[in-house]
Amino acid sequence: MADDKLERIKCLIIGSGPAGYTAAIYASRADLKPVMYTGMEPGGQLTTTTEVDNFPGYPEGIDGPTMMVQLQQQAERFGTQVRIGMVTEVDFAKEVGGIHKACIDNKTWVEAETVIISTGATAKYLGLPSEQRLRGGGVSACAVCDGFFYKGQEVAIVGGGDTAAEEATYLANICSKVTMLVRKDEMRASKAMQHRVMSTKNIDLRYNSEVDEVLGEQVVEGLRIVNNETGEKEDIKITGLFIAIGHKPNTDIFKGQLDMHDDGYLITKGKSTKTNLPGVFASGDVQDKEYRQAVTAAGTGCMAALDAERYLATVESEEEVSA
């Protein structure tokens, strides 16, 4: 039963990246009066990206933080309430028309008729101090996003799975040389992807190799590699380092309530953003491990808002019939 003392929200948006803000724009224009809680990283992964050159409508490019500020302003222009806060717990209803509950910052509960989850995924990094210092200065977790800036230059990529192999071959098309560091004595990638890597002439594949230190003060100037079998170290000159060791979807608080893959990505139905619970929708990287681009996240944010609008219309028409 609903608690009359709790704030009732028509459309609650959890997360504030391209998916969340696009959902907010569409939801507010549909008069769903959305309330967004930004999470710990307002703006999502794009706030750590210096230049965004591949989002439509920006012929000169734009830096990630500025783009997120503009998306927020656009959402607020149509009436979205953007609140700084972290959803720390949820209690989702299981029946159509049920009221969902969310706890903000471990203290305040709110109710919501619909929920759009746009909590994204967090790129995994190696955790080296030199790597963290140079994030945005030559260290990146997205070759498709940032590879263009290293056209004709020598770069390195860390990882041995399908994503690393795919990004290595992508970089090889635009960079003069790609040094690929694989921690074990073999790649985890599929045989087809391994063959692509091995048949690409300008990829220097190094097994049993790890990053000892990223070299450079303000920008990446080189890499110290260590062979984890012999302990031998080697310095190479590079201008860009790409980390491709996976992403972790930010879905821990939804475990036990929403269906998800073994790796934590939320499962949506067909071509929709519907989860297994009525009135709860997922958009952006939290349900997309294939593309992980700002523009695809924005697209699913639009879809989630439209799905939420249609869901509410269905609930309201059913209530009218019952009455």
Q: Which residues are catalytic?
A: 142, 145-146
- What does the alpha-carbon distance between residue 11 and residue 273 come to, in Å, rounded to a whole number? 15
- Give the residues across from 163 on adjacent strands: none
The candidate with the shortest Cα–Cα distance to 11, out of 290, 295, 273, is 273
- Give the residues across from 204 on adjacent strands: 179
The burial of 103, by beta-carbon neighbours within 10 Å (0-12 exposed, 13-18 middle, 19 or more buried), is given as middle
Residues 6+ apart with CB under 8 A from 127: none
The candidate with the shortest Cα–Cα distance to 114, out of 283, 321, 269, 251, is 283
Is the distance from CB of 120 to CB of 206 less than 8 angstroms? no
The candidate with the shortest Cα–Cα distance to 177, out of 207, 152, 202, is 202
Q: Is 108 helix (H, G, I), strand (E, B) or coil?
A: strand
The candidate with the shortest Cα–Cα distance to 276, out of 95, 31, 79, is 95
- What does the alpha-carbon distance between residue 221 and residue 139 come to, in Å, rounded to a whole number? 11
Instruction: Give CA 47 to chain center in angstroms.
Output: 11
Q: Which two tokens mark 134?
A: 């140079």
The angle, 0 to 180 degrees and rounded to 10, between the axes of the packed helices 18-29 and 64-77 is 20
Is the distance from CB of 12 to CB of 100 less than 8 angstroms? yes
Angle at CA of residue 125, ends 124 and 127, nearest 5°: 135
